[in-house]
Amino acid sequence: MEKFFWVIRAFIYSFLFKKIGKKSYLGKPLFIYGYKKISIGEKVRIYPHARIEVHGDGRIVLEDNISIGQSLHLISGGELLIKKNTTISGNVLITNLNHDYKEIDKHIMEQKHLIKETEIGENCFIGYGAAIQAGTKLGKQCVVGANSVVRGEFPDYCVIVGSPAKIIKKYNFETKRWEEVIKNE
């Protein structure tokens, strides 16, 4: 019965958002800012307590068939794209925005935003509590481990874990297996 209300909420929000696709539903959000700059594709499931913010000229695009766990925090001041068939666990932060901190006599929240495009590739899995920082680009079918802090560019078909996150496995198309990355120490 509760999901029925989520569908009704998505219908009501369809007049506020730039776009909400068919079969998408939205659990009761914690906070949404910049509705008209948020596009949600078809069959997107967003569980309760999401905080979604779009500042300045930013925008957020969630493609089709995305599942997002509770307490998601999305912050965008530029282009933030999450591609289709992606699963995002609970308590995840994804951003393309940092605050400058160089002016030592000025509160950080009053300093300019530093924007770096962030993109989550198709068919990715983001583990519980992960932080995807500004400028991160995940390739197709990347797996991010729980509580990982991710920054940088990562190729298709890799497993990324840690703080700071590093690639620990890649898919080998010749052997058709996920193989550990050999570390040179």
Tokens encoding 30: 């914690």
Say how far apart CA 175 and CA 169 lie, in whole Å.
13
Confidence of residue 145 (pLDDT cuts 50, 70, 90): very high
Residue 115 pLDDT more than 70? Answer: yes
Tokens encoding 110: 């009053």
Within 10 Å of residue 29's Cβ, how many Cβ atoms? 16
List the one residue out of 71, 179, 75, 85 whose CA is nearest residue 138: 85
Say how far apart CA 32 and CA 54 lie, in whole Å.
8
Say how far apart CA 22 and CA 10 lie, in whole Å.
9
Could you read off the pLDDT of 90-113 as tens digits, one per residue? 999 999 999 999 999 999 989 999
Can you give the pLDDT at residue 184? 56
Can you give the pLDDT at residue 185? 47
Say how far apart CA 31 and CA 51 lie, in whole Å.
5
CATH class of 2-180: mainly beta
DSSP single-letter state for residue 139? -
Burial bucket for residue 12 (CB in 10 Å: 0-12, 13-18, 19+): exposed
Percent of the chain at pLDDT above 70? 98
Residue 156 pLDDT more than 70? Answer: yes
Could you read off the pLDDT of 44-90 as tens digits, one per residue? 999 999 999 999 999 999 999 999 999 999 999 999 999 999 999 99
Q: What is the pTM of this model?
A: 0.92
The full set of domain ranges for the chain reads 2-180
Residue 10 pLDDT more than 60? Answer: yes
Across the range 152-167, mean pLDDT stands at 97
